[in-house]
Chain A
């Protein structure tokens, strides 16, 4: 399967713990996006990378959140000192930017539950 993969698919943690999620994009894609989706809402943009450079972060991304894409391939999203409000589905998408329009392809998501 050459689609976007995310790990883990589910994570249950206690408030105050740190969690890290991983995303592996489609291999030739140079852009990688992170979104967050809560119940009854559409996904909301968090941050994106072009190759290894993080180009923009949403105001939704507090200083407890950090994302990396060290070699321009896979990416990690870490949440420190988790809060119950962090419970959501975290979605990763990848795309090829060198086109006039850009279609993002999504992974299966990581569902986080903070107790």
Chain B
């Protein structure tokens, strides 16, 4: 049972435009959400996170939006650059518990075309 879902396996955008990556979750106990970027044969790199007490967090070109009632979050990248081309993973955790293990989506492969 996939508790974190990224329903778009791939996304292609033009350089300079906005990239929007989506993520849905089913477990209402999740209270912390993270986005990681991953290149082939490398470990995930932390990008940005959001706590469930917020609905938006911004860091440079990256903004994450959280809609708790819809159990939905999205990552916006503006403007998109060719170097952003990678697989993006959404992950969630329950920080009220002792084990804050991350539960991951399957990833979305982003291609930013020059």
State the A residues within 8 Å of B (CB): 4, 6, 31, 33, 35, 40-45, 48, 55-56, 89, 91, 93, 95, 97, 100-109, 111
B77 interfacial by beta-carbon distance below 8 Å: no
B98 interfacial contact with A, CB 8 Å? yes
Q: Are A101 and B51 neighbours in the complex by a CB distance under 8 Å? A: yes
Determine whether the beta carbon of B106 is less than 8 Å from that of A42.
yes
Q: Are B100 and A102 in contact (CB under 8 A)?
A: yes
- A selection of 9 A-B contacts at a CB cut-off of 8 Å is A40-B106, A41-B106, A42-B89, A43-B44, A95-B100, A100-B95, A106-B36, A106-B46, A108-B42
> B28-52 CB contact bits vs A (8 Å, 1 = yes)?
0001101010000111111001010
Contact A107–B106 (Cβ < 8 Å): no
Instruction: Give the chain B neighbours of A106 by CB distance below 8 A.
Output: 36, 43-46
Give CA–CA (A57, B44) in the complex, Å.
Answer: 21
- Is the beta-carbon distance between A101 and B106 smaller than 8 angstroms? no
The distance in angstroms between the C-alpha atoms of A20 and B73, with both chains bound, is 38
The answer on a CB contact under 8 Å between B99 and A103 is no
